[in-house]
């Protein structure tokens, strides 16, 4: 039996839901819509009390939408809102008759005794609208799901994006009194004062940097940007190692550029002090094999989680991040790097707009999960064009204006840090006698909640590792790292046992003879 879906003035629209073409009445609350509209026309500040809850689409009946639009227009002009002014506003827009005429407006106000329950009624109207949005979205996705020409992965991302959009629209936070916020802020200060170095956030393991930031703070979006070859990935991997190994804090790394194996190889280089070419070809000395086997368990036990999905969309990232926080207790997320992400499922007219969407959603994710989100970013080529003579050693330092593709990155970020290695540009002296060879500079160029500054770290290129400028490799972190660099003793028998009874050495082939 065919269902008449034609719009009538006295009857709500019937939409088709499901594959069986049976008409179902969408969620609605017409009497409450009438009550809300009527209250707005009899109470002076009624509109302002529910303006953050309602929009024209929140109303199921078209005439109620027209009336709400007129009330909103009057409020925007700070004009009085009553039956006569609303009627005049509707007349100017040519929608008075579509809204039921002045008699209907008068009737709405007579039905409302007071606006005492206005907010509660408005919440129900908003919830019904959200349910209708979900139904509409589901119907659209269902229709596309039957279309075999549709790419399933893109359809999943579109569905995720639309659900996220609806959920964000539905989330409304009430204004809160300052007292509980002060209490929370005081508690965080108390905890920070009890920590060594007054670190209130996630420590990076870099002493001078932590003095500036007090650790990476909850809900912050941190952008770490640099030109290629400056060591962006080396920096965040060194930091991830510090956080997960030294402080046992769970970290998630989303690597859009490198595979899982490439990323882990870099971590092995960092922790085991083995050069990259030897990791790739396996030609390690006896001492290096010993060092590898003795230190590898440090990484195995570290709470580091890696995802190397190529072309990851921001909405897929959000879904995975929520699950990691819930299931693994992740306290910090690292993304390598922002420009390789996409915003499938959203509408945008340019790459700049797409990056803006990604940046805004990353900030929203940090705030939602209440953890720091660190995203790497590329810088424009403007850095390369600036003067780098010895008389202008700062000429190659990155600036906020060098952030690539979108000013929204700078706007959305709570902190922007640059990595600068003067040695790369053949600058070996800072002009004041400081030797810049083997040093990398971390420039805190934007700090929404603190000071900006610059610090130096030591960069060990062959191990792709950053460390504190005045620190040697901390052997005390590895209690079982006693090895003889000249001889090899009991490699097969002295290694710790795995949970399944296998020896650690079973994972490695016998190394070639030392060379």
Rg (the chain; Cα; Å): 30
- In the residue annotation, 257 being an active-site residue is answered as yes
Question: Is 213:415 a contact under the CB 8 Å cutoff?
Answer: yes
Tokens at 204, concatenated: 């990076």
Tokens read off for 265: 């190889």
Please name the residues in contact with 293: beta carbons below 8 A apart, sequence gap of 6 or more: 491, 495, 504, 505, 508
Cβ-based neighbours of 7, under 8 Å, separated by 6 or more: 13, 62
- Is the previous residue joined to 337 through a cis bond, with omega within 30 degrees of 0? yes
**HEC sequence for 325-353:** HHHHCCCEEEEECHHHCECCCCCCCCHHH
Q: Distances from the Cα of 387 to the Cαs of 63, 459, 460, in angstroms? A: 65, 24, 26
What's the CA gap between 162 and 133, in Å, rounded? 9
Rounded to 10 deg, the angle between the 232-241 and 260-272 helix axes is 70
Q: Select which of 257, 352, 368, 410 is catalytic.
A: 257
Residues 346/355, Cβ–Cβ less than 8 Å: no
Phi-psi category of residue 68: left, alpha or beta, with phi > 0 → left and psi -120 to 50 → alpha: alpha
Alpha-carbon gap, residue 61 to 33, rounded angstroms: 8
Residue 410, CA distances (Å) to 120, 198, 441 in order: 39, 27, 20
Which residues are bridge partners to 465 per DSSP?
460
Please spell the DSSP secondary structure of 262-302, one letter per residue. Answer: HHHHHHHHHHHT--HHHHHH----HHHHHHHHHHHHHHHHS
In sequence order, what are the residues at sequence separation of 6 or more whose Cβ sits closer than 8 angstroms to the Cβ of residue 1?
A: none
List, by residue number, the catalytic residues: 257
């Amino acid at each position: 039996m065919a269902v008449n879906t034609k719009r009538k003035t006295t009857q709500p629209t019937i939409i088709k839901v499901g594959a069986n073409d049976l008409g179902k009445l969408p969620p609605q609350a017409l009497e409450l819509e009438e009550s809300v509209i009527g209250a707005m026309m009899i109470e002076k500040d009624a509109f302002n009390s529910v303006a953050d809850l309602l929009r024209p689409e929140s109303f199921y009946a078209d005439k109620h939408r027209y009336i709400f639009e007129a009330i909103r227009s009057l409020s925007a002009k700070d004009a009085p809102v009553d039956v006569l002014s609303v009627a005049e506003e509707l007349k100017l827009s040519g929608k008075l008759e579509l809204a039921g005429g002045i008699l209907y407006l008068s009737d709405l106000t007579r039905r409302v005794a007071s606006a005492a329950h206005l907010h509660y009624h408005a919440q129900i109207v908003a919830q019904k609208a959200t349910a209708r949005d979900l139904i509409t979205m589901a119907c659209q996705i269902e229709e596309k799901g039957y279309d075999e020409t549709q790419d399933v992965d893109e359809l999943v991302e579109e569905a995720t994006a639309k659900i996220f959009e609806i959920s964000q629209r539905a989330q409304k936070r009430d204004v809160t009194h300052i007292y509980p916020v002060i209490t929370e802020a005081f508690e965080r200060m108390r905890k920070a004062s009890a920590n060594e170095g007054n670190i209130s956030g996630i420590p990076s393991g870099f002493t001078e940097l932590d003095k500036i930031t007090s650790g990476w703070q909850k809900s912050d979006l941190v952008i770490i940007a640099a030109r290629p070859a400056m060591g962006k990935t080396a920096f965040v991997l060194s930091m991830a190692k510090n956080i997960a190994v030294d402080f046992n804090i769970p970290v998630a790394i989303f690597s859009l550029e490198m595979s899982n194996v490439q990323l882990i190889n870099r971590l092995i280089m960092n922790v085991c002090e083995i050069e990259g070419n030897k990791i790739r070809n396996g030609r390690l000395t006896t001492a290096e094999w010993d060092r590898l086997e003795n230190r590898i368990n440090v990484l195995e036990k570290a709470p580091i989680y890696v995802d190397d999905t190529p072309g990851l969309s921001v909405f897929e990232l959000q879904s995975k991040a929520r699950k990691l926080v819930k299931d693994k207790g992740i306290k910090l997320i690292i993304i390598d790097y922002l420009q390789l992400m996409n915003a499938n499922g959203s509408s945008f007219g340019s790459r700049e707009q797409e990056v803006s969407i990604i940046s805004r959603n990353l900030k929203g994710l940090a705030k939602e999960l209440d953890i720091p989100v660190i995203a790497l970013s590329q810088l424009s080529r403007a850095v390369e064009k600036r003067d780098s003579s010895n008389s202008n050693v700062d000429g190659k330092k990155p600036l906020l204006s060098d952030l690539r593709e979108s000013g929204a990155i700078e706007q959305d970020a709570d902190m922007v840090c640059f990595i600068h290695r003067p040695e790369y540009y053949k600058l070996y002296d800072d002009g004041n006698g400081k030797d810049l060879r083997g040093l990398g500079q971390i420039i805190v160029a934007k700090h929404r909640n603190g000071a900006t500054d610059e610090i130096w770290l030591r960069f060990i290129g062959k191990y792709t590792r950053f460390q504190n400028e005045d620190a040697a490799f901390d052997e005390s972190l590895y209690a079982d790292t006693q090895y003889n660099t000249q001889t090899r003793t009991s490699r097969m028998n002295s290694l710790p046992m795995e949970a399944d009874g296998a020896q650690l050495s079973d994972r490695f082939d016998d190394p070639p003879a030392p060379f």
